[in-house]
Structure 1
Amino acid sequence: MDIAAANEKQLLADIDRLREEFTQTQDLYREVCVLLFFRYGMTPTANKLYQLVRKGSMTAPAEALNKFWEDLREKSRVRIEHPDLPEVLKTAAGDLVATLWSAAQAQAHETLASFQGEAQVAVIEAKAALAAAEADLDKAHQTRQKVQQALGQANERIAALGQQLATGGATNAALESQLVQAKEENTSHQQLLEDARRDFAAELDKLRAAAQLAEERFRAAETRALLEIDRERRAAVKLQKELDAARNAGNLAAERHRAEVAALQDQLGDFRQKAGMLEGNLQAVITARDVAVTELKGIQTQLANATAQMSLLRTDAENWQRQAEEAKRTVAEMRDAQKPTRSPRKPKAE
């Protein structure tokens, strides 16, 4: 019966239990023989015993197996020689035991020879392994020396690194403290920056509102200035017409009023010069308006200049208004001056 056909797991568990109960090698092998033969119905062999127990030398299982068969033979002989057994049964039992004993002894001798051959091969292999192990041991000693040297160097390096680590730890602690302080300062700076941004945004909104108001005022002033200039231009056209009428009337009395006409021509030249000045001032106002509109895009830096330019425009407008009033007064004076010099004539019939 093969071991694989039996409950091998239970067999190994029983052998482990026997290991704990029997510490002597021969006793352990004997009990394993009993276990195999009587419980599992297996014929014990030295090879099988050694595979299961693996304790002691190669000859230990064979010796234990011989002792097992001797004990079994002795016990069987006692039972066979029992006086109550019939003679035929005694003879048959004796023949059976003798046969079993012969077979077991032959199997034991074969197993012993096999174990001896295996032992010799194992001895040769063990000697070769021992030589190789000794060579490996020499190499291991050399390697151990090198490793010890390297270990000494490594320990020195570790000590140096430990000092560096301690120094680095102190430096790291200082850096961490600086980092914490820097983070706190950064938080404070961020808060100040946010406050400054809010203040700047509020100030910018104020400046934008002021700039918009200034632009609206400037546009209103520009509109008023343009209206004034247009009004003065219409007045100048009207004056030109009146001057033309006065010139026609003066031509009728050219001989008598030559001196007055020359004076009027001088005044007319002055008026034309003033009208040209008004045109130039109008162009300057238009140019100043374009410059002011362009400068309004940079509100923060050009607001004061725009306000000053507006003041100048207002001053020019007032000057133009005064000049126009002076021109009106001059024309009125010219009309008043022309009235006494006309000769009284009867109106012509239509």
Structure 2
Amino acid sequence: MLDLSRVLAGPLTSMNLADLGADVIKVERPGAGDDTRQWGPPFAEDGTATYFQTANRNKRSIAIDFREPAGLQLILDLIAESDVVVENYLPGALERAGIDLEAIRKEQPSLIVASITGFGSAGGASRPGYDFVAQALSGLMHVTGERDGEAMKVGVALVDVLASKDSTIGILAALQHRDRTGEGMRVEVNLLSSIQAALANQIQATVGAGVEPTRLGNVHPSIMPYESLPASDGEIAVAIGNNKQFRDFVTLLGRPELADDERFATNPDRVAHRPELREILSEALASDTAENWQERCVAANLAVGKVNTIGEGIELAQELGIDPVLELERDGVASKGIRHPVRYTPAFDMPTAGPPALDADGDAIRDRV
């Protein structure tokens, strides 16, 4: 697999497949490499930007300037040996550099080309695609933040991550198609489409009912209680999905009569009387800590959890036996990453190579080609 992509969505795509055993060659700019090599702080102990570590384990790196004739020929030679090429250049940029992937596909019909753009290859072809802008243009930011506050981005580059998962799915489907027919294909993913598909019920409200969702903070537009509520020392997330759960929850709070109150008996009733119910629940929850409420609710099989830091979330996963942290090593350099999220039974050994130094494998790859 030849990875001609940079930053996050493309590199995450190739890393997903590298985790599953694909031999990924990452092509980088001589001297500088992927933009994310400089995206810090924070930096790991060996000086590597943790942003770069996010999406580049289990790969080999080669630095190639394909503006030079020799570099261009090397790229073409590598494509000729590849099953899959991943790229996220602006549409037309590679063609202008002499890498016409559509023409190559005609000569190499089994080749799978995965292209990730910001806004597609038609009217939005010239628009650069960054996650933050895609969050804004898609409407995601419009529904994120406090009701009376400013629009807010999500706390991670979620659009890039979703696009990487979509392109991974597309590549796996294309490989299946090739196994059946011998034909490769082009897989196209754009940031705008990925986040619009992920807006799920929010975008369906607009498409299906003409309703334009707005910001509600941590409140769910259609379920109550399904939001963060204050305990005595911090907030807890409460997700009550049906009437039985509501009865169990308010009984645990010492207010069982609320389940039979006509204002709160059904979910539509609770949504209609959200302010009153929130005040009552907040008063009851203020009598104990978030940690204690969490323990009591989990024991009662209710979905309630305190608002953790990322570090606390990692600790929780470890306590639950999920073991999220992966120990990596590359050329004597140890590092850590977050484990591939899918578990397979029977299990197979996944590679655990850390991210490569710039051009770490350049000589070996050139010698082979």
Shorter-chain TM band? under 0.3
TM-score of the pair, normalised by structure 1 = 0.18
Q: By percentage of residues, which structure has more strand?
A: 2
Q: TM-score, normalised by structure 2?
A: 0.17
Larger Rg: 1
- Which structure would you say has the larger RCO, counting Cα contacts within 8 Å and 6 or more residues apart? 2
Q: Which protein is richer in helix relative to its size?
A: 1
